[in-house]
Each structure stands twice: as structure tokens, then as C-alpha cells.
Structure 1
Amino acid sequence: MNFFNICIYKYAYIGFAYIKSYMAAIVLYNKKGMNELNTTITSKGNSIIKEVKRLKEKKYRDLNKKFIVEGLRFVKEALESDFDVEYLFVSEKSYDKFILNDIGEDIKKNVEVIKVSESILNQICSTETPQGIAAVVKYSKVLSKITKGFYMLVDKIQDPGNMGTIIRTANAAGALGIIITKGTVDIYNNKTLRATMGSIFKLPVIFEDEKLSQIARLKENGFKLIASTPNTNNNFYNVELNEKIIIAVGNEGNGLSDEVINISDIKAKIPMPGDVESLNAGIAAAVMMFEYVRKHHV
């Protein structure tokens, strides 16, 4: 191939790449109905930025029913889920890569894409080294399903890592959902979200009220509530795990609350022949969930 032909191929390729990027920008413009490409928020006094920064506090998350996710993988999973994404923030440096290539096709029409400076993105995010992208996601309302399977009931667990691990493990074990009692750690704080590894968008999470109405509804429809507690001689591995059960795990220090234990159908403990008093809450939950999996899916 001579020099002339090499030049033709080289510039044809560059031209094609340019046209591809340009067309992607046009598609995004038409899809969104606005020109985000020429606007960059650089002021921390911007009303949207001030609103979003408040979501780093639990009381504002609960008040507005929204939370923040950070990083490309988390944002992509949010966009691909049934959750509603309100804002998508992308840094100037990462804008073309993310919007025109990585996630452009996943952006829905009702998502407002906003280009921000690096310093503004750092203020929105909780991680020390953000990946150049973050999103604001609305809470998702979920009702319990009356079908065969198991729910994981989490009662007043306080550690974000444990909470996130239980959500992730429940997703892996095929749980129908997670039921969370009042007084449990906020599942939408950044540490919990990271520990879920994206399972927060794949597993229904049901927030129980003070009367434990969701549990009562499930029990009325044939579900049995199994309370994990050391105050019994009943070995969990000897429990008949029916097709419709709720497995309950409690607070790291105090275990299950009396309210949950009092309405349980079965009390059981995980046998521990070693010299320890208790298991980590996340590990205990995993042991019980995968015993259900072993009995029904293996």
C-alpha cells in the first residue's frame, strides 16, 4: 500500500470516528430535547447542585425520596433498572466518553443530563476519587409478592457493610425480596450501596411499618416466619423449610427484637461447635438463605 492510499485510509477513519461522535451527540440532543453539550455547571450555588448535595444526608433522602449513586457501573445499572433516574451528572473531562460511548443508549428521555466541573462533581460525590459520573435516583415503591420462595427479614441491623452484604447475598440466593424494619441502617447511604454491588437495583426492598403489616400479610398467605435466635435448642438445619418462608436476622449486638420473635412461627439457631458466641449478621443470613437454596434448588 503506497503513501497516498495510507493517507486516504487514515483520514477516512478519522472522519468516520468524528461523524460517529457527532451523530451520537445529535441523537442525544434529539432524544433529550435540550442541548446539554454547551452548558457546564461550575457554581456550587446552583439550585440543582444545592438540592443534590443535601441528599448526602439521610433526612433529606427520606424527605425527597431520592438517593445518589456514583461511578460508571452503578450509574449504568440504575439506568438499566426499573428505578427512575432524575439527574445524570458527568464531569467535563469524562463527558464525551460516557455520554457518547459508554451509556448514551441507556439514557431515557426523562433523564436530565448535566455537565459539571470536576470540583462540582467532587462535592456531589462521597468517594474521594469519583469516576466522573453520578446520578440521582428516586426511591422505588415495592409491595410484597404472594408467591413461592423466601423473603429475608432484616431487623434493626446497624452496620452498612452487613446490610449491603445481605442485600447482595439475597439477590444471589434468589430471594423474593428484603423486608426492613424501622430502626435499621439506611440502605441508601453510600457505604451500604457500595456493599450491595448493584443488587439494590435488582432485588425488591420492602420497608416494614411499626405494626409489621407486611409480615402479617405474608403470614396470612401461607408464609412461615423463622426467627434466628440463640435462645432455643432447635437446630436450623433440622427445620422444615417450606416453599414459602421468611428468614429473620437481627441486630448485631441484640439480635431480633421481641416484636419479631413474638410473631415468629419457628425459632431456630445455627449450630456452632466452635468457641464463639455468635456469627456476623451478614454471614448468618447467608448461611440460612443458602440452606434454603440447597433444599429447593440443588
Structure 2
Amino acid sequence: MKDETTIFGIRAIIEAIKSGKTIDKVFLQKGLHGDLFKELESIIRLESINSSYVPVEKLNRLAKGNHQGAVAQISPIEFHDIDDLVSSVLESDQMPLFLLLDQLSDVRNFGAIVRTAECTGVNGIIIQKKGGTPINGDTIKTSAGAIFKIPICKVDHIKDAVFHMQSSGIRVIAATEKAENYLYDISFKEPCAIIMGSEGRGINPSVLKVVDHQAKLPILGDIESLNVSVACGAFLYEAVRQRF
């Protein structure tokens, strides 16, 4: 995935971070050592940047030049501050509707969700700094450009966003198959935020413990779950239906 959002080389990545570039993820070569490499690792930890250690073959695919054991993906968007975003929405005449995504891993699912969120009037999307999908060319394409039209915030942990919403008078609703209530039993006519979990694990159990409500979709077939972007669309359009 070599494109305008990819940079490589240890020194180049260090300088990009120091200059304030929004780094989505850094891929580091397994087993690599050296003072400059250690400096990069230290900065990544200090700035809480998403990173992973990978074989050199993956780095060779990501960058054709002398990557020196490090390749970074620069986010094509600027992230918003969650405090500023929530405050501005609450001060407006809008009925708040936020979307929290707990470590989605598929860029196309993320892009599809962003597109649906923009179409349903979501005020902002909150994602976690680490463990989630990067925002890249595939995300932009799948979102049909909606990624540039909806505010996106990053937090250290999704629970931070949950507590922030609750302290601001916004109810938090988790979409989970473990719920006893169905989606249609929940009221979306008040300020609310919806949490969607990752493709494999769903919502982190520690997050489920602190939400206000849990809700599920009725499943009438043999397959026990829906694609996360499809499920998210169902939740968002139920909110639209109730508010329309």
C-alpha cells in the first residue's frame, strides 16, 4: 500500500512525529536494534502511536525504497478534540448522536460505517488510538469521501469516551448480541452515543460494564451475527426513524 499517506525511514518518521504529523500507524521490523531505532520506539510510546512489529517482507511490500526497518502511515485527515466537539454539539440546536467504534480492524468496514454515519447525521465518530484500523486510501474510497465531512476523534481508550459522554448528559448504547433488549426497545430521542465492537471480538467486556444500555438486533436466520457495518446501519437508521 504505497501511496501519498506512506512514509519510510527511521529519521523521516521521527521528524514527521516531531513536526506534528498525524501518524495512524507505524510498522517496525522485528528484531531490529540500534540507537536511532530505539529513539523511534521511545517516541512512539511517548505519543501513544499505534504500532506493530512485522517481518521485513511486509515492510518491503509497503515501501520500495530503503525503509531502514520502519514504515509509517500518515492519516489523510486531522482529528478533532473530543472536548471541543462534544461542547460544540451540545451548544448547538442539534440532538446529539455520536458513534463510538471499539477497535474495528477492517478498513472497508470502517469506511462503510463512516459513509452511513455521515448520511444519518452523526455528529462525530470516536475511535481508539491503538488497536484499530488505519485511515488510508481504502477507507477514503469506501467512505465515498465522507471521511472528510464528519469529525473524527481519537481517545486513549473507548471507556474514556464513554465516561465523557455520560458526564455530558449523553446516554451510551452498546450494540451487542449479549443484550437482553432489542434495538427497538431503546429510545434514541434523547442525546445518545452508539458503540459498535470489532469484527471478531465485539465490544470489550470492560466497556460493556459501564454503558447505559445494551441492545441487539433480531436474527431470524441460522447465522448468528451481521457484518458490523450492516449492524451499525440498522442502529443508526433506527435512531433516524425515531427522530424523523
Range into which the TM-score falls when normalised by the shorter chain: 0.5 to 0.7
1:190/1:267 Cα in 2 relative to 1: closer, same or farther (>3 Å)?
Answer: same
What is the CA distance between 1:229 and its match in structure 2? 1.2
Asked if the contact 1:171–1:203 (Cα under 8 Å) also holds between the matched residues in 2, the reply is yes
The answer for the alignment partner of 2:131 in structure 1 is 183
- Shift of the 65–294 alpha-carbon distance from structure 1 to 2, 3 Å rule, reads same
2:167 corresponds in structure 1 to: 220
* Unaligned residue ranges in structure 2 (runs of 5+): 25-63, 65-74
Alignment of 1:143-292 (within 5 A): 143=82, 144-146=85-87, 147=90, 148-181=95-128, 182-186=130-134, 188-210=135-157, 212-292=159-239
Greater helix share, structure number = 1
Match of 2:78 among 130, 133, 139: 139
Does the 8 A contact of 1:66 with 1:138 survive in 2? no
Residues 238 and 197 of structure 1: is their aligned pair in 2 closer, same or farther, counting only changes over 3 Å? same
Residue 102 of structure 2 contacts residue 158 of structure 2 at CA under 8 Å; is this kept in 1? no
Counterparts of residues 82-93 of structure 1 (less than 5 Å): none
SS at match of 2:86: coil
Q: Which has the larger radius of gyration?
A: 1
Give yes or no for contact 1:66–1:137 (8 Å, CA) kept in 2.
Answer: no
Which residues in structure 2 correspond to 1:15-164 (within 5 Å)?
53-54=6-7, 60=13, 63=17, 64-65=21-22, 139-143=78-82, 144-146=85-87, 147=90, 148-164=95-111
Give the direction of change, closer, same or farther, for the CA distance of 1:211–1:288 in structure 2 (3 Å limit).
closer
Q: 1:295 to 1:226 in 2, by over 3 A?
A: same
TM-score when scaled to structure 1? 0.54
Moved over 4 A (4+): 59-62
Q: What is the CA–CA distance in structure 1 between the aligned matches of 2:121 and 2:213, rounded to whole Å?
A: 22
Per the TM alignment, residue 296 of structure 1 is displaced from its structure 2 partner at its CA by 0.2
Kindly state the Cα deviation for residue 259 of structure 1 after the two structures are TM-superposed.
2.5
Q: Relative contact order (alpha carbons < 8 A, sep ≥ 6): 1 or 2 greater? A: 2
Task: Indicate if the aligned counterparts of 1:222 and 1:244 stay in contact, CA closer than 8 A.
Answer: yes
TM-score, length-normalised on structure 2?
0.66
Please say if residues 66 and 139 of structure 1, whose CA atoms lie closer than 8 Å, have aligned partners that are also in contact: no
Q: Which amino acid aligns with 1:65?
A: T
Cα deviation for residue 291 of structure 1 reads 0.3
Structure 2: distance between partners of 1:216 and 1:169: 25
CA distance in structure 1 between the aligned counterparts of 2:217 and 2:76, rounded to whole angstroms: 38
Q: Deviation string for 1:107-148 (max 9, x for gaps)?
A: xxxxxxxxxxxxxxxx9xxxxxxxxxxxx9562433332422
Give the root-mean-square deviation of aligned CA atoms: 3.0
Are the structure 2 counterparts of residues 273 and 137 from structure 1 closer, same or farther at C-alpha, using a change threshold of 3 Å? closer
**Secondary structure, counterpart of 2:97 in structure 1:** strand
What SS does structure 1 have at the residue aligned with 2:157?
A: coil
**Percent of residue pairs bearing the same amino acid type:** 30
Deviations 1:178-214 (A, max 9, x none): 011231111x222112111111111000112137333
* Pair 174,251 (structure 1): closer, same or farther in 2 beyond 3 Å: same
Shift of 1:240: 1.7
Retained in 2: the 8 A contact 1:142–1:204? no
Aligned length: 180
User: Any gaps of 5 or more consecutive residues in structure 1?
Assistant: 1-50, 68-122, 124-135
**What SS does structure 1 have at the residue aligned with 2:193?**
strand
